[in-house]
Amino acid sequence: MPELPEVEVTRLGLVGPLQGARIEAAYLGKPLRWPLQCLPQSLVGRTILDVRRRGKYLLMDLSEGLLLWHLGMSGSLRLWPTRPDPGLHDHFDLMTTHGCLRLNDPRRFGAVVYAPAESSPQAQQLLGHLGLEPLQSAFQPQGFHQALRQRRTAIKQLLLAGDVVVGVGNIYACEALFLAGIRPTLSAQRISRPRAAALHAAIQQVLSRAIAIGGSSLRDFTGTEGQSGYFQLETKVYDREGQPCRECGTTIRRRVQGQRSTFYCPQCQRN
């Protein structure tokens, strides 16, 4: 958390306002997860050409090089008309002709990394292992099923790994598996082609819906104007342990997989 929908919501809030902006200053506070890889003042004078997304990373294309932003577990980006006084959890400010972009991250697992190009080692170290984008045309049911057939790991953990399909974080993996009627502990290679197609559709449905309503604001995430997301109000199983299933009334259960909480309905997800 934040996951793909929250990062995409952030991208949508930045791409219009920042496109064509010129960087006037950059301020780095407490150290983040990875070093910036350049002196902050070296960014001054460069123009922001575009803001893209790859998995959970924001790629800010500059007139020279690019910045890769990661929100970690608790980060958010907010665009201010002018630079406010920095608070305890404000760790990076990018001053531009179109406003101040600020990274706030209470747990400091987020990062801002400069790379000369997307193909450079600095970028590929972060992006090179990522799987297919779930909302792009390259992510097809047949190829998804073929990838599942090669893996013995539990399907929930495969979705979180991000090397087959990227960005399906814990909340959305739980919800997609529920919609597809698949038990989270089922081995990926045991999922049939029709069920893989159902899961493929569920992943796209869940992620698209989350983006449409601003993502999930469980703890710290807010959009670029400080707005909350509302997907957490619609979840079928996530964070609903002990409550009745919205479909069949069976009590929702929780179990731990790979140190992450998995929520599921034992009736709707028997197989």
For 100, half-sphere exposure in the C-beta direction (CA atoms, 13 angstrom radius) is 17
* Structure confidence at residue 30 (pLDDT): 85
Query: What are the structural domains, with CATH classification, of the chain?
Result: 4-127 (3.20.190.10), 141-264 (1.10.8.50)
Which tens digit of pLDDT belongs to each residue from 52-75? 999 999 999 999 999 999 998 888
* Structure confidence at residue 1 (pLDDT): 64
Helix or strand (DSSP H, E) at 174: helix 170-180
* Structure confidence at residue 215 (pLDDT): 79
Which tens digit of pLDDT belongs to each residue from 15-38? 999 999 999 999 999 888 899 999
Q: Could you tell me the pLDDT band of residue 220, with boundaries at 50, 70 and 90?
A: low
The answer to whether 56 is a known catalytic residue is yes
Which listed residue (33, 149, 254, 260) is catalytic?
A: 260
Q: What is the average pLDDT across 136-140? A: 97
The answer to whether 194 is a known catalytic residue is no
Which listed residue (3, 6, 8, 175) is catalytic?
A: 3
* Structure confidence at residue 223 (pLDDT): 67
180 has a pLDDT exceeding 90: yes
Q: What is the average pLDDT across 129-157? A: 97
The answer to whether 156 is a known catalytic residue is no
**pTM of full prediction above 0.85:** yes
String of DSSP letters for 10-67: HHHHHHHHHTTPBEEEEEE-S--SS--SS-GGGGTT-BEEEEEEETTEEEEEESSSEE
Report d(CA 16, CA 4) in Å as an integer: 19
Which listed residue (2, 5, 134, 184) is catalytic?
A: 2
Q: Which residues contact 218 (CB under 8 A, 6 or more apart)?
A: 1, 171, 232, 239
Q: What is the average pLDDT across 220-226? A: 67
Q: Could you tell me the pLDDT band of residue 214, with boundaries at 50, 70 and 90?
A: confident
Which tens digit of pLDDT belongs to each residue from 85-123? 998 899 999 999 999 999 999 888 899 999 999 999 999
First to last CA, the chain: 28
Which token pair is 171?
Answer: 């909340």
* Structure confidence at residue 61 (pLDDT): 98
The answer to whether 2 is a known catalytic residue is yes
Which tens digit of pLDDT belongs to each residue from 70-79? 998 888 999 9
Is pLDDT larger for residue 242 or for residue 230?
242
Which token pair is 20?
Answer: 């064509």
Q: Compute, in degrees rounded to 10, the torsion defined by CA atoms 201, 202, 204, 210.
A: 160
3-state secondary structure (DSSP) of residue 182: coil
Report d(CA 103, CA 68) in Å as an integer: 12
216 has a pLDDT exceeding 80: no
Which token pair is 124?
Answer: 């590929």
Question: Percentage of the chain with pLDDT > 90?
Answer: 82
* Structure confidence at residue 228 (pLDDT): 66
What one-letter code names the amino acid at 125? Q
* Structure confidence at residue 225 (pLDDT): 67
Which is nearest to 169 in space by CA: 200, 144, 140, 206? 206
Which listed residue (11, 53, 56, 183) is catalytic?
A: 56
* Structure confidence at residue 231 (pLDDT): 84
Q: Is the peptide bond before 31 cis (omega within 30 degrees of 0)?
A: no
203 has a pLDDT exceeding 80: yes
Which token pair is 108?
Answer: 């400091």
39 has a pLDDT exceeding 90: yes
* Structure confidence at residue 108 (pLDDT): 84
* Structure confidence at residue 107 (pLDDT): 83
Report d(CA 95, CA 90) in Å as an integer: 14
Report d(CA 83, CA 94) in Å as an integer: 9
What one-letter code names the amino acid at 195? R
Q: What is the largest CA-CA distance in the chain?
A: 59
